Structure 1
């Protein structure tokens, strides 16, 4: 089978890309042809289809008003991404498309091209974008559900996108236009990696007969754990919604514990300055850790900590810890309780509760035997719920079902999108 993989980034940028590359590798190992489509970027994996890639788009570089207007229009609908994809489809002739993140840089214009070519689409939802203009259901320092099932004007009123009313307006218009146009009606199935996200999407108007709850897959290393170096690992972006301030205050309560923070983000300078001011020398900021170095960092940790204060979906950092036989201490929020049973594969604490977080971490630090037992159960859970082979078998079976019909994109009637 010839499979088109669509994602705006074709390099390791985050959890969505980790899932995409795992599917890519597994498909090719099975003898399928993988045809990638996304944006041009110097870090991309090189393929024979690079000439068809959409131009790279960056929202961080300064630009004039005319360029900003053009960029906003491309966010809503990118004719160039659509035309590049049409040329790729004409040459490569894929059978089916697995779509991941397309928002902003590619836009749903690529779905239009796929629909016109009669190619069925299965789309994995890695965030809350279809229900929330800022993707995260989080604003003003706390979780937010205002736009779910309601108008997206709340995003403008509360400046939900980077604290900017203008950027919030652009993204609110994006969501509103796509909803009114039915921009996602040609998607045959949506994969929701967590039950929490599944429920949010039904509230946002996606019909349940198009939604599937499939937890993300993760690579299972043959040797899950070599040694326990005893440190506490945080792996992720350094941003407010990740609960890093409660983590810092928990570290302050545990001066004998060693905390390793792997990742970059806008909060890093402030966190480092606070640690210096507080004389907190047990926190190490590792910065960006390349993918090839991440497994060793995970498997030597006493535990992974995910103190998030936003609605996590199905984070790959947690799945990677489970796969390596490392217990997880996480907030009881979003999809996290679906991945960890309290006292089994790790411990769950109320989000933002630094005392409870410190107590949970202290328990695992003081009892390596219990931590190791949780780690063994974590590995078994990864094998049971997140193994790549069963995931891909389901995906291929679903693809075969769609391809047996003359027009997979219209096989299931799509109720008025996002009613």
Structure 2
């Protein structure tokens, strides 16, 4: 009898999230994009709260949806809450077994993710955890409440122990980051889409961290910006939330348009969130930027094609915003403010680092008067976007699956 060694195999994967896929956010977009990328090479089980977006995802012939019921949805935030119960764990375990799942890949830190991890343990399946942000932060007034309530809430929802490590200067932020740490400690491998977040995760005590950038579907119709006739068109898209600095950006954009005129600068803003009403009031008082509300994610490439560049204005919050990947895939440079963000931006970024409102307005004015950096960033995006391709993502993530415990080689007996 001889032992035959086959080539490396691609595992069948279950991707899991506590978030509904209709919620506006980078984690939800990343989940959808990565499920599609994996489905090009293997069978995928998508486990998360039910939504029309989940049903649409399951129209792919290699994606099977497992909708999970939730107890309630947090008002305003749109955050669905499901507890890790024996019943939920049993439903997920049965789905994993039915599909012959080889790896469980969780994208969140709450009850559904915890139930999936527990079900995987019962079946002897390795677990990988993608951290979409470790930089949780809240307002000063919320810090005491979060410090007291977050550990108990998370344990009640997940059953996971709270590490109680000091991970941020403010106690509430530290409690939130311990929630992410608890899930990472329960996994066999942790994925960070960015190098700077990976460093923070390792410093927190996670030694099994791989850097795998997010993925975006290819955009073969994308054309580079080679000249700018008429106004410089800038696109901002995302959640209207304090951490995204949407209101400072709108004030800066209004100032810049007042200085150079609408014939030189046009700013379009996509998205929704808790600060949308405030944004509407601001724009009504100081006309300039144009608010378009939330648009389907499938429409974003067309919006980028009509723009010359995008703007990413957060500082200290984002891990690896999908805005960067989507923009570069569309061959558009990104005006960015957070010096910690590097993937793709060292080639195709237009820096406005740590920019205040006044500095951001001045930068927009500079670019409107001299758009050469915008054209150069668009040309550089052709190389930078390879980092976010589906092929690069699947190659890297499958390596992480092997490190998590899925065997590199399949051994069979032969005669």
TM-score, length basis structure 2: 0.77
> Where does structure 2 lack aligned partners over 5 or more consecutive residues?
1-10, 165-181, 410-415
- Superposition deviation, residue 91 in structure 1: 1.9
Matches within 5 A, 1:302-317: 302-317=308-323
Q: Which residue of 2 aligns with 1:362?
A: 365
Q: Do the aligned partners of residues 258 and 171 (structure 1) sit closer, same or farther apart at CA in structure 2, a change above 3 Å counting?
A: farther
SS in 2 for 1:38: strand
CA distance in 2 between counterparts of 1:60 and 1:170 reads 13
Is residue 197 of structure 2 the alignment partner of residue 197 of structure 1? yes
Q: Which residue of 1 aligns with 2:161?
A: 178
- Superposition deviation, residue 232 in structure 1: 1.4
Matches within 5 A, 1:319-338: 319-334=325-340, 336-338=341-343
Q: Do the aligned partners of residues 78 and 301 (structure 1) sit closer, same or farther apart at CA in structure 2, a change above 3 Å counting?
A: farther
Q: Which residue of 1 aligns with 2:107?
A: 100
- Superposition deviation, residue 333 in structure 1: 4.2
Q: Do the aligned partners of residues 303 and 184 (structure 1) sit closer, same or farther apart at CA in structure 2, a change above 3 Å counting?
A: closer
Is residue 50 of structure 2 the alignment partner of residue 5 of structure 1? no
2:223 is aligned, of 222, 225, 237, to: 225
Matches within 5 A, 1:50-61: 50=65, 52-60=66-74
Q: Do the aligned partners of residues 299 and 333 (structure 1) sit closer, same or farther apart at CA in structure 2, a change above 3 Å counting?
A: same
Q: Which residue of 1 aligns with 2:35?
A: 24
SS in 1 for 2:121: helix
1:138–1:310 contact (8 Å) kept in structure 2: no
Structure with higher RCO (Cα < 8 A, 6+ apart): 2
Matches within 5 A, 1:19-418: 19-30=30-41, 32-45=42-55, 47=58, 49-50=64-65, 52-60=66-74, 75=83, 77-101=84-108, 103-128=109-134, 136-140=136-140, 156-157=143-144, 159-160=145-146, 170-171=153-154, 177-180=160-163, 184-207=184-207, 210-225=208-223, 230-254=232-256, 255=258, 256=261, 257-277=265-285, 280-334=286-340, 336-341=341-346, 344-351=347-354, 353-383=356-386, 385-400=387-402, 402-404=405-407
SS in 2 for 1:259: strand
CA distance in 1 between counterparts of 2:193 and 2:280 reads 34
State the number of aligned residues: 362
CA distance in 1 between counterparts of 2:240 and 2:267 reads 14
- Superposition deviation, residue 309 in structure 1: 3.3
CA distance in 1 between counterparts of 2:201 and 2:367 reads 36
SS in 2 for 1:136: coil
2:131–2:192 contact (8 Å) kept in structure 1: yes
CA distance in 2 between counterparts of 1:405 and 1:28 reads 20
TM-score, length basis structure 1: 0.76
1:115–1:186 contact (8 Å) kept in structure 2: no
CA distance in 1 between counterparts of 2:130 and 2:53 reads 23
Q: Do the aligned partners of residues 337 and 259 (structure 1) sit closer, same or farther apart at CA in structure 2, a change above 3 Å counting?
A: same
Superposition RMSD on alpha carbons, in Å? 3.1
**Which has more strand, going by share of residues?**
2
